[in-house]
Structure 1
Amino acid sequence: MARGLAVLAVSMVVAAPAAAQTVVTSDRIDAVSVTVYRAPQPKPRFRRDAPMERRADQGWPGGYALITETRTIRLPAGRSVIRFEGVSQGMLPESAIVTGLPRQVVEKNRDARLLSPAALVDAYLKRRVTVRRTNRATGAVREQDAVIQSGPGGGVLLTTAEGVEALGCSGLAETLAYPGVPADLSARPTLSVVADSTGAATATIQLSYLAEGLDWSASYVARVAPDGETLDLFAWATIVNGGSEGFADARTQTVAGLPNREGRAPQPRSPAPDLRLQCWPMDITSTHPRWGDPVPPPPPPPAPMAMDERAEEIVVTAQRLQRGMLAAPVAVMVAEQEELGDLKLYRIPEPVTVAAQSRKQVAMIDRKRVRFERIYGAAFESFELPAYADENQPGPESASLVLRTENKTGQGLGLPLPAGAVSIFEDDGTQSLLVGEARLDDRAIGDEVELAIGDSPEVQYRITAHPRRGKRQNYEARVTNAKPVPVTFELAIPYRLASASETLGQRKGQPLWRTTVPANGAATLRFTLKLERE
């Protein structure tokens, strides 16, 4: 008996009519600020095909943004539901803060189901709709009632007075007419809040929230000067918005550094359902020539241009492309750097539009005549050193080429450098050509900056073993330079060094052989390693 009373009580509560609430819709943003934070990058490696980190399960940018919107709304007296339309698609509703209301917010809801043909079909599953058919020959329109039996993923099946049929397979122009739009479908991403007001008033509301699906990265262009000792460094801030909503004339900032976000799991983002009407056949046999007459041969290609004329056109086009790619924009939009605790804030001085599903590039860094060193080097640990002289000796290896400088004002830098991809260009006398691409990690002021371009076949080195003497092993490192100019070569030795034929320096706690190899010349280092503790 008690159980039955409990069930009755619940049923009465559910059936009781809800208090009437006025719905206030805010679809206009007066002002907006977007501050974009980068996605975590656990592996600092260069990826030209994917400069932005993307969530593998969802295929959209893995960063996030703090978005602050200012809106003006007209509030009625009493309790009302305020719908903020046009918020970011990746909004984290639990992070939303609403200020400017007369009283505290009672409830928040994120309306995530967006209005679309597929969403309408799904919302009206097993419900009655109207099918409107147009005869292609006569133009006559006929309507009939139908019930949607399945869809949208596996095709839309309808039950009509004539039986079960697939939508779009009758050969006629067909549309579905719905009696209305379900209340839980929104044309745009929407946040709704329930609030009370003691009287009617016009309020200026500020809505702040975190949103996923935005990201940014730095993209550098380094152009080496003809003197080979300085370079011009220019950087773009590339802001990407993967959501369906854009932000016009936004005060935009990017933050370099990774604030701690532990404990916040990524928001699940279901892909938008697609409405696919697939039938066979959907056309007439004349559209398939292989079923009927043979396909006529294509017209002959146009006569080729003369070789010298075509070559001239290709060269001119390439030069125009390179000039357009390397030319720095007028510095009226270079981002302004500010301190944000231990993070770095780059503020774009003018409002910009962060459009939906787009990329925006803004000039961020512009430094002229940055001094650097060109270093050819070898990683000693990359060798499997032979323990005995009679074993197979490794052959010569190409030295790696690194452009090295320090992030100091005296070198032409002296500002925080966000991580990003770097494209290095050099001038061959007539044009600037790409000579390498590197990955730059976050570098603070005073840090060493290295850009690894690649290997040089003209500078090679070889390490060979000599006969072992007791617990010590002798080695010889020989480097050759086929270039017409001297080069600087470095070899780090991360082992227990007993002796060396030259005085060695230190780099990052390891013995370092640094030498100048003459043009078309060679240099040799003999050294001994301790194989065991003595």
Structure 2
Amino acid sequence: MPDIFKRHSFKLVFLLLLAVSFVAGQQNTSITVTNQNIALVKEERQLDLNKGYQEIMLEDIPVQIIPASVLVESDFDVLEQNYEYDLISVDKMLEKSLEKEIIIEHAEQGKITGKLLSATASSLIIQNIDGITQVIPRNDEQKISLKGIAEEKQPFIIRPALKWDVEAAQNKKYDAMISYLSREMTWQADYVGLLNENDSQITLSGWVTVNNNCGKSFKQTKLKLMAGEINLEQPGRPQPRYETMMVAKATSAFQEKAFFEYHIYDMDRKTDLLNNQMKQIQLFGETTGKTTKIYRVNSDDAENVHVLISFENSKQNNLGMPLPAGTIRIYKKDGEEREFIGENHITHTPKDEKIDIEVGNAFDIVSERTVVDVKRPSNRSERRQVEYKIRNHKDSKIIVEIVESVPQNAEVTEHKSNGNHVRHTANALKYNVEVGANDEFLFNLTYTLSW
């Protein structure tokens, strides 16, 4: 049935009896939110049941509930479950009024009474007691009364509900723990870092942003946040980022612990999670650690010199806690002021791992890469000779990290250069070269690939 509000609005008066038995609301709730747009909700409810078979409605549930995920822990048996989400609307009321008496009143046209035969966005078709069929155009001045709708045996659903057929052993109030999954609840971490003037230290604070768009509000609920990649049939949609700089002063509101192959952040107090609300809670307060500034040139993007801020996520560096994935925004002191210098996304990072934050590209450093020669000593090997020209227009010397990417299916059997070899990984050769102030350095590299 089309939505008859699309083109016209009208006043609607109806007689309706709601004879529905709904169970009591939840007493205590606990929510574990993942950062993959899904959450586990646990509710304690008390149900007043009679002995034997009966039908009950569990209302006040999220619109985005996954009905198949419902788990009930109690002394009664749930024999059948139906998810009732066909909510009351003008369309639904008119649909249920077909072939029933309605009254249309208009200031100029007067009162028209008849049986409703059809209802569309533009008109109503009714048949009066004389058998005459009339097409009544919709307009804003009409008032419609639906009398026959009160005869409906099935009540209208005002909000989503679970309808259960249950069996109870005796007449009493049963305590039940009801758990279910709901979509459209997620969270992400946001970090703020403040560099000192010589880029040797960073003051870092962390916040979590919790988004609730599940269609239900939770008052004074226990909140847990789960960090890690759980396997889901359908991945959640990315959430919009929240561009705000915040400076934390207090201690963390969460206790962190390992759980299975993930990490859980347990909030130390209850909180409200209202529907369509974005809530921000401190993850940890300000802590200062040592940093290193890195200039990096990648072979597949050699014309850009990337600037990274690197630090160790360790207790020795005043950190050392698992950091959930999120966006880190970097500011830098400029005298008494602060300036934004860049942001980057970090993945889930365990303790004692290094974090590299790419904040942008260097303005005063220029890089060029040239393939000088390629030879094939055999059918299963290749020798490459490349050179990098690094020009430093700064008034101080710099160290540049050069990363030469190699195919993953090939093995580097030999390499030589005029730079300091730092690391050799499965898909890259890494070197550090020193470039003097206002000077140029020509880095030569020859390596052989075998497969």
Q: How does 1:37-52 map to 2 (within 5 A)?
A: 37-39=34-36
Counterpart of 1:376, as a letter, is Y
Counterpart of 2:126, as a letter, is T
In structure 2, distance between residues paired with 1:467 and 1:110: 69
In structure 2, distance between residues paired with 1:111 and 1:70: 21
Give the CA deviation at 1:480.
1.9
| Aligned match of 2:402 | 491
Q: Are the equivalent residues in 2 in contact too, given 1:148–1:156 (CA < 8 A)?
A: no
In structure 2, distance between residues paired with 1:236 and 1:205: 34
Q: Are the equivalent residues in 1 in contact too, given 2:209–2:281 (CA < 8 A)?
A: yes
In structure 2, distance between residues paired with 1:119 and 1:90: 21
Q: Are the equivalent residues in 2 in contact too, given 1:93–1:209 (CA < 8 A)?
A: yes
| Aligned match of 1:197 | 168
Distance 1:412 1:329, change over 3 A: closer
Secondary structure in structure 2 of the residue aligned to 1:403: strand
In structure 1, distance between residues paired with 2:308 and 2:125: 67
Task: Compare 181-190 and 208-217 and name the one that shifted more.
Answer: 181-190
| Aligned match of 2:105 | 133
| Aligned match of 1:339 | 258
Q: How does 1:127-526 map to 2 (within 5 A)?
A: 127-128=99-100, 130-133=102-105, 135=107, 142=111, 144-147=113-116, 149-151=118-120, 154-155=121-122, 157-159=124-126, 161=128, 163-167=134-138, 169=139, 171-177=140-146, 179-180=149-150, 183=154, 185-261=156-232, 325-331=244-250, 334-382=253-301, 397-466=303-372, 474-495=385-406, 496=412, 498-509=415-426, 510-526=428-444
- Deviation per CA, 1:287-334, whole angstroms, max 9, x where unpaired? xxxxxxxxxxxxxxxxxxxxxxxxxxxxxxxxxxxxx94343453662
Q: How large is the RMSD of aligned CA atoms in angstroms?
A: 3.1
Q: 1:120 aligns with which of 80, 93, 96?
A: 93
Give the CA deviation at 1:111.
1.1
Counterpart of 1:94, as a letter, is A
Give the CA deviation at 1:201.
0.9
- Deviation per CA, 1:453-481, whole angstroms, max 9, x where unpaired? 12122111112355789966544322122
In structure 2, distance between residues paired with 1:164 and 1:184: 29
Give the CA deviation at 1:244.
1.9
In structure 1, distance between residues paired with 2:225 and 2:112: 55
| Aligned match of 2:65 | 91
| Aligned match of 1:10 | none
Q: Are the equivalent residues in 2 in contact too, given 1:219–1:238 (CA < 8 A)?
A: yes
The answer to whether residue 45 in structure 2 is matched with residue 71 in structure 1 is: yes
Give the number of the structure whose residues are more often strand, by fraction.
2
Q: Are the equivalent residues in 2 in contact too, given 1:517–1:523 (CA < 8 A)?
A: yes
Counterpart of 2:84, as a letter, is D
Unaligned runs of 5+ in 2: 1-18, 237-242, 378-382, 407-411
In structure 2, distance between residues paired with 1:99 and 1:112: 24
Counterpart of 2:429, as a letter, is P
In structure 1, distance between residues paired with 2:321 and 2:234: 33
| Aligned match of 1:48 | none
Q: Are the equivalent residues in 2 in contact too, given 1:129–1:148 (CA < 8 A)?
A: no
Distance 1:189 1:332, change over 3 A: farther
- TM-score, scaled relative to structure 2: 0.80
Task: Compare 509-518 and 469-478 and name the one that shifted more.
Answer: 469-478
Give the number of the structure whose residues are more often helix, by fraction.
1
Q: How does 1:4-19 map to 2 (within 5 A)?
A: none
In structure 2, distance between residues paired with 1:97 and 1:402: 48
In structure 1, distance between residues paired with 2:70 and 2:376: 72
Give the CA deviation at 1:511.
2.7
Q: Are the equivalent residues in 2 in contact too, given 1:354–1:360 (CA < 8 A)?
A: yes
Distance 1:512 1:159, change over 3 A: same
Counterpart of 2:100, as a letter, is R
Secondary structure in structure 2 of the residue aligned to 1:504: strand
Give the CA deviation at 1:489.
1.0
In structure 2, distance between residues paired with 1:364 and 1:225: 22
- Deviation per CA, 1:117-150, whole angstroms, max 9, x where unpaired? 33333444x3435345353x9xx98463451514
Secondary structure in structure 2 of the residue aligned to 1:457: coil
Give the CA deviation at 1:508.
3.3
- TM-score, scaled relative to structure 1: 0.69
In structure 2, distance between residues paired with 1:455 and 1:256: 31
- Deviation per CA, 1:342-385, whole angstroms, max 9, x where unpaired? 110011211111111222222123341122211111111346xx
Q: Are the equivalent residues in 2 in contact too, given 1:100–1:204 (CA < 8 A)?
A: yes
Give the CA deviation at 1:100.
2.6
State percent identity of aligned pairs. 18
Counterpart of 2:365, as a letter, is V
Secondary structure in structure 2 of the residue aligned to 1:186: coil
Distance 1:423 1:186, change over 3 A: same
The answer to whether residue 28 in structure 2 is matched with residue 31 in structure 1 is: yes
Counterpart of 2:267, as a letter, is I
Secondary structure in structure 1 of the residue aligned to 2:92: helix
Counterpart of 2:46, as a letter, is T
Distance 1:470 1:187, change over 3 A: closer
In structure 2, distance between residues paired with 1:332 and 1:473: 54
Secondary structure in structure 2 of the residue aligned to 1:118: helix
Counterpart of 1:133, as a letter, is E
Distance 1:28 1:506, change over 3 A: same
Give the CA deviation at 1:66.
0.9
Counterpart of 2:135, as a letter, is V
In structure 2, distance between residues paired with 1:159 and 1:33: 52
Give the CA deviation at 1:533.
6.4
Distance 1:248 1:129, change over 3 A: farther
Question: How many pairs does the alignment contain?
Answer: 409
In structure 2, distance between residues paired with 1:468 and 1:259: 45
In structure 2, distance between residues paired with 1:360 and 1:468: 57
Counterpart of 2:48, as a letter, is R
Give the CA deviation at 1:86.
0.6
